[in-house]
Structure 1
Amino acid sequence: MEKRKRKKFDKSFKMMVVELYRSGKTSREISEELGIGADLVRRWSREFSASGESSFSGNGNPVLTPEQREIAELKKALRDAQIERDILKKAVSIFSRSDNKYSGS
């Protein structure tokens, strides 16, 4: 089984696709003309609408404002703390079972 190679499109190509889409062409027409998926046309258009000129930064990594970056870091820290808390809860329940199997006595 041969692994399919993923196509890469540069920012100027994506911008051209978005302009065609905004000019009134359907995503299906654009996809047939350019040999790309209609879903890509719609996704690139949504991304451009949301981020404007800062969209299509490359390698799937969006350009974040300092506030967005801080929010992402805080969300990650919260997730890590929640995982740690859940592990500690399980440990406490194991060590506090009434059968004293883990009490060391």
Structure 2
Amino acid sequence: MAREFSQEFKDQVVELYRRGRTFKDLAREFDLSATTISNWVRVADKKSAQPPPGEPPESDKAKVARLERELAERNEELEVLGKALAFFARRHR
């Protein structure tokens, strides 16, 4: 006979996993299977990736634009770090 668990309990176990506990450790502590906990984590990850109810999903164009902005920011950060590295390398010769 399958046991049923409240959503609150599942969420608490998932949170413990996200804080660094292992599936095996949690399974032993709560008398569950590691596979069950893994499934709960996977479902929670899918839920968190979805936009809140009533909010439209991000369009492909908006997603590409956002990712292009993020890439430009990272490239700028890398450029600054490269210049800093060159500066300190010259200084310590």
Distance 1:14 1:8 in 2: 10
TM-score, normalised on structure 2? 0.51
Structure 1 stretches (4+) deviating beyond 2 angstroms?
none
* 1:59-70 alignment, distance < 5 Å: none
Give the aligned partner of residue 15 of structure 1. 11
TM-score, normalised on structure 1? 0.45
Counterpart among 33, 38, 55 of residue 34 in structure 2? 38
Amino acid at match of 1:26: T
User: How many residue pairs align between the two structures?
Assistant: 51
Measured on the aligned residues, the alpha-carbon RMSD in Å equals: 1.9
Deviation of 1:20 (Å): 0.5
| Structure 1 residues without counterparts, runs of 5 or longer | 55-64, 66-105
Task: Give CA deviations for 1:33-91 in whole Å, capped at 9, x if unaligned.
Answer: 00000001111001100113x8xxxxxxxxxx7xxxxxxxxxxxxxxxxxxxxxxxxxx
Amino acid at match of 2:26: I
More helix by share: 2
Q: Identity over the aligned pairs, expressed in percent? A: 30
| Structure 2 residues without counterparts, runs of 5 or longer | 54-93
Give the aligned partner of residue 26 of structure 1. 22
Larger radius of gyration: 1
Deviation of 1:23 (Å): 0.4
Deviation of 1:14 (Å): 0.2
